Chains A and B, each alone.
Chain A
Amino acid sequence: MIDLVSSDLVSIRNSLQNKEFTAVELLNEYIDRIAKSSKLNLFNTTNFENAHKAAQESDQKIIRGEARSLEGIPIGVKDLFCTAGIKTTASSKILENFVPAYESTITQKLKDQGMILLGKLSNDEFAMGSSNETSSSGPAVNPWKGDSSDKELVPGGSSGGSSGAVAASLCPLATATDTGGSIRQPAAFTGTVGLKPTYGRCSRWGIVAFASSLDQAGPITKTIADSAMALKYMAGYDEKDSTSADVDIEDYEQAVGQSIKGMTIGVPKEYEELDLEDDIKQNWYDAINWYKSEGVEIVSVDLPHSKYALPAYYIIAPAEASSNLARYDGVKYGTRMTGDSLDDLYKNTRGQGFGAEVKRRILIGTYVLSAGYYDAYYLKAQKVRRLIHSDFVEAFKKVDVIITPTTPTTAFGIGENLSDPLKMYSNDILTVPVNLAGLPAISIPSGLDSQGLPMGIQLITNHFNEGKLFQFGSVVEKSRSSITNQSEWWLE
């Protein structure tokens, strides 16, 4: 029996390569555990049969000494990444039976290193949401519950399936995407490490698009070392994605835990005015002190335009989404609802195929791009975006890394915010400026709040400096109090 709960990506890789257990044995353990975790509703599709064959091949390779870097390690993939021959639904009814004939660049790169696909993980429909409640397969559930509370909580969103699966030890690594916080916020809600790399660091090819200028793929893992290792194999230029960057990949694994003595960390003073839960604010101040005791200089920085980030984001992202989602029309693939006319076919397909939140964003996006409104909304939002970007550029002249909480609250209950979109959107207040500026940022578990729920610290750094996030992140990892989830209430 392998102890999956105390295993992480690095330890699993070492054990496999040292032949402490086989890939097939490991896979069977994960399959068992996934089967016992159906209450969490994290998987849209499982891939156990194919995974079995792949694990057997991996074992052969390990025996022959031909093991690739991530040979035989099972992973979970957000259902936004196209996987050849395996259903890819974006958690939407409109793609409920869509099976791509192609593999996304990111999943292909991981497969090329020997990783084995366990299945496709739930997300908010088309990655639109902060709670994983808008998935066509129903809400995903957070493995965490508050102390002495029976309330089921959201795992965050949109990558709630990914964060939940890693937190519940159903896979050591899950791919995810982050458009406004969709990796970091779910990581913070589930006590996992979520990395959003620099825009352009990882290829978007083969990932169902939400908002093209903001979408970025990244890993959700248990530890910073795991995150560094995953990024190494996910990052890289892709000629098939015009917005991917031809920038050298640093040695991320080597950066983990490197001394940061004498370096600087920035605290944005505007963020102190935000409506943050007391525990989260306190945890943020604690984290700043951890850095102080490491010999890091604490510097106050100005991000004056961050307060406009949320409205700008909720114009730009829906605008792009309204156009990106136009291809789901029932004509070529996916769900088709027939009608008496072409217009009816469109209306029926899109009316029944999309959920309420997706429709809301398509409407917002269509509106802000319309003649007569474009300048007042889209163009103005783009100007705000440039100002936010300049704020960060200025700040990073002074500091190596900026520190903030990841979220204003810890995980909330399923259904609590669903009827109040504005409250739901405000979850992204600390993460969205990073996407607008195209910067890399990481959410690291930083302790438990008074209810016993995980909190996350967000570290932000300059473009293509992900190594610094791993370097600085280790301090949080080693200074925080224990964040082990003891209960495993969901196991059947």
Chain B
Amino acid sequence: MNDINTTSEVRHTIEGQNGEWEIIIGLEIHAQVTSESKLFSGSSASFGGAPMSHVSLVDAAMPGMLPVINKHCVRQAVKTGLGLKAKINSYSIFDRKNYFYPDLPQGYQISQFKFPIVGEGEVKVSLKDGEDIIVRIERLHLEQDAGKSFHDIDPENSYIDLNRSGVALMEIVTMPDLRSADEAKSFVTKLRTILRYLETCDGNMEEGSLRADINVSVRKPGDNLGTRCEIKNVNSIRFIGMAIEYEARRQVNEIESGREIIQETRLFDVSTGETRSMRSKEEAHDYRYFPDPDLLPLNLEDDFIKEIINELPELPDYKKERLIKSYGLNSYDADILVSDKNYAEYFESVANGRDPKISVNWITGELFSALNKLNLDIHDSPVSSEQLGELIDLISDGTLSGRLAKDVFEIMLETKKNPRVIVEEKNLSQITDESSIEKIVDKIMESNIDKVAEAREKPKLIGWFVGQVMKESQGKANPATVNNLVKKKIGI
């Protein structure tokens, strides 16, 4: 296992009682395919709905029912593979993974085992310190979700809802290339961004559209890989970080206390922030995978794949590169903008014919903090990109000072009115006419003759005069003109 390309470089360690430990992490992400209907049946794949309301005869595994592949889901998997710069396998096979559970009506899950639809790929992840790492993707395959069991409705009985039974999932498996909780969180965030760009998974973790199984092991830097534990079904990015940190610390403590790590499946308990054993390797299921005889091998035509390539949107990495190149943005700003394709779209609309730096500052500054306060998504923003553009235009042509613009922006948030209308209605436009400003400056100086003399000794007092002039003008005087005039009059 030492041929893993990232093993040589130690990026991150945690402190044990007797030295440093490296954490090795690999993820299996279950991403629900964005699709009207299920992977092998026509029933709705939408979230929610009354229990058992999205269940066909196939989903309930009635005798003699047969699966028929949903072509849209295949298309989505291929699209995702392309977004992960991965190899698309023109030949793949659906297998049955056999195990008994009441919410698995067929007694097997249709999945892909030996021949997945997507092979090796990679994802570039930008870390907080500005460094980029490459996380290798081992494979992506399509599989069915199971139903849901409820054990807490009734003291005697368990209840089962098959609405999710048969919903299409993509299982995306990484190589063990991640080295810290932060790296894992950044990876999942980036993967989610890519899926959302592709519109192949909505990435909604609260609704269970994106879940992670986390493989964690620890080792002394330079050693061979340690025994790993798998933490099942973690459903938030924050919990992924917490689970890894807890599990790595637990493993280090175990080894340093002279115990061995047992390969096992563990659960992350949200209430305690701890992981606990679910089943050991000895108790692991023998899934008896074999090709599903109800389904023919999946053969993808070149034209089908080409068609999907042509439909691909601009992906975050390319978009970032382009924003840096065409708008002269720095990497930090570009990262923020591409983290959601709606941000980037909003930005490009604002920056069209305007100063990109001013545009990005307004978006990531005023706009984001306002949206954050209002708890709104950017596409529900009360200020449209056209309106924000107009506001920036009013700044550029001198109508509004930066301060006035912020006031206008607040009014825009409340009223959704165009900035020009607000400026007119409230008579907020900036005074740029020098002679008008000079009159005010003269007035202030005349009533503060002693301070004028003082200012010649202490130039810091200039700011006081500027402030007085601005106050007198109700903030509308152009601050630069005021500054120049005050200096000139005092004679500095």
Contacts and interface: CB of A to CB of B under 8 A. Distances in A.
B444 interface: no
Contact of B61 (A212, A327, A342, A378): A327
B98 A369 contact: yes
A331 interface: yes
B290 A323 contact: yes
Given A331-B105, A378-B290, A346 B296 contact: no
SS of A interface (majority): loop
A207 B64 contact: yes
Contact of B64 (A208, A325, A329, A374): A208
Interface stretch (A224-232, A239-247, A266-274): A239-247
A241 B66 contact: yes
Interface in A40-60: none
Contacts of A90: 63
Interface in B306-330: none
B293 A211 contact: yes
A332 B295 contact: no
A40 B64 CA distance: 28
Contacts of A327: 61, 63, 105-107
A318 to B, nearest CB: 12
B370 interface: no
A242 B105 contact: no
Interface in B57-116: 57, 60-69, 96, 98, 100, 102, 105-108
Contact of A326 (B62, B65, B108, B289): B108
A205 B66 contact: yes
A326 B107 contact: yes
Contact of B293 (A100, A104, A212): A212
Interface string A106-125: 00000000000000000000
A346 B100 contact: yes
A206 B295 CA distance: 16
Interface string B34-56: 00000000000000000000000
Interface residues of B, number: 28
Nearest to A369: B288
B300 to A, nearest CB: 16
A320 to B, nearest CB: 5
A88 B63 CA distance: 9
B142 to A, nearest CB: 15
A135 interface: no
Nearest to B149: A342
A212 B63 contact: no
A319 B294 CA distance: 13
A94 B371 CA distance: 59
A68 to B, nearest CB: 25
A285 interface: no
Nearest to B57: A102
A386 B490 CA distance: 101
Given A320-B293, A326-B100, A332-B105, A366 B66 contact: no
A332 B288 contact: no
A342 B149 CA distance: 13
B148 to A, nearest CB: 14
B107 A329 contact: yes
B470 interface: no
A9 to B, nearest CB: 25
Contacts of B296: 242-243
A346 B62 CA distance: 17
A319 B108 CA distance: 13
A370 to B, nearest CB: 6
Contacts of A437: none
A90 B62 CA distance: 13
B286 interface: yes
B261 interface: no
A243 B105 contact: no
A256 B163 CA distance: 51
A114 to B, nearest CB: 23
A27 interface: no
Interface in A51-103: 81-82, 88, 90, 95, 98, 100-102
B69 A242 contact: yes
B240 to A, nearest CB: 30
A319 B98 CA distance: 11
A370 B289 CA distance: 8
A209 interface: yes
A332 B52 CA distance: 12
Contacts of B293: 211-213, 243, 320
A1 interface: no
B160 interface: yes
A204 interface: yes
Contacts of A325: 107
Given A205-B66, A243-B296, A323-B96, A332 B60 contact: yes
B117 to A, nearest CB: 16
A323 B69 contact: no
Given A240-B68, A370-B286, A332 B61 contact: yes
Nearest to B40: A242
A200 to B, nearest CB: 10
Interface string B290-308: 1001111000000000000
Given A212-B293, A243-B294, A323-B108, A342 B102 contact: yes
Contacts of A213: 293
Given A242-B68, A326-B106, A332-B61, 17 more contacts: A81-B64, A88-B63, A98-B63, A205-B66, A207-B64, A240-B66, A242-B67, A243-B293, A323-B98, A325-B107, A327-B61, A331-B102, A342-B102, A366-B288, A369-B288, A369-B290, A371-B288
7 contacts: A95-B63, A100-B62, A104-B64, A325-B107, A327-B63, A366-B288, A371-B286
Interface of A: 81-82, 88, 90, 95, 98, 100-102, 104, 204-209, 211-213, 239-243, 319-320, 322-323, 325-327, 329, 331-333, 342, 346, 366, 369-371, 374, 378
